[in-house]
Amino acid sequence: MRSVCVGPPHPGNGFGGGGLMEIDIFTLFPEWFEWFEAQRHVRNVLEGGSRLRYVNFREHTPLSGGRVDDTPFGGGAGMVLRVDVMDAALRGHYGVDAARVRESRRVIALAPGGPVLDEGYVQELAAEPALTLLCGRYEGFDERIVEHFASETLSIGRYVLSGGEPAAMVVCDAVLRKLPGALGHAESAVEESFSETLDGDPEYPHYTRPAEYRGWSVPEILLSGHHERIRQWRTEQSRLRRT
């Protein structure tokens, strides 16, 4: 069950109109996203006026030596990201009390144990004018970051990554490709896996030339030219893939 704690949907940042979105990513490794930003569909939405911003919370730490983490109370392996560091980073970037940022935009702490991202969740996020993604590292966040700064936690699946950066990219990719102008063919996103057009089912199989390869042939119906029968076959195939 996903519980979201948000205030007014529009942060007054000029985004949210005409499918524009602003995503701020709090990370210790902003350079990870250089490759991501160079991808065509991401470039398309950025050129269209949407915005990705990166906040390296190490640059905001009030601690000496760029320190951002500490040992866990109660003992145990690994290091935990400190609440005072995230507090300083959110306040430094938004210029308001860090605990109030979530009143104007969804602040999402990436966490393996959070509610898992799916198509419905992506659609919900894509309708927001602005998001903030907090990327954890090491053992993860001091729980007070989640409790007091985040509106929610989000997992991209039931496995553990070394850091929140790949998870943030998954969220950004899935969300940004929903925005107008992201894809070369806007229709691609209308009839795809989990779309309403397919009743939320996975997409049907695709084939292309050659029609015959190593004795593996393409289903005859697809070569028949009967559009209605092809449509029916695809719907049926899609239903068969329902889990």
Ligand X SMILES: C[S@@+](CC[C@H](N)C(=O)[O-])C[C@H]1O[C@@H](n2cnc3c(N)ncnc32)[C@H](O)[C@@H]1O
Binding site for ligand X (CB under 6 A): 110-113, 135-137, 139-141, 155-157, 159-164, 167
Locate 82 and state its tokens. Answer: 């400190």
Give least dist CB 117 to ligand X, A. Answer: 8
Q: Is the Cβ of residue 49 or residue 72 nearer to ligand X in the bound state?
A: 72
State which amino acid sits at residue 136.
G
Q: Is the Cβ of residue 163 or residue 200 nearer to ligand X in the bound state?
A: 163
C-beta nearest to ligand X: residue? 136
Report how far Cα 3 is from the mean position of its chain's Cα atoms. Answer: 17
Give least dist CB 29 to ligand X, A. Answer: 11
Question: Residue 93 belongs to what H/E stretch?
Answer: helix 83-94
Residue 47 contacts by C-beta under 8 Å, 6 or more apart in sequence? none
Q: Is the Cβ of residue 64 or residue 162 nearer to ligand X in the bound state?
A: 162
Q: Is the Cβ of residue 20 or residue 169 nearer to ligand X in the bound state?
A: 169
Give least dist CB 136 to ligand X, A. Answer: 2
What are the φ and ψ backbone dihedral angles of 124, each rounded to 5 degrees? -60, -45
Give least dist CB 134 to ligand X, A. Answer: 7
Whats the size of the chain, residue-wise? 243
Among 66, 26, 58, smallest CA distance to 149 is for 26
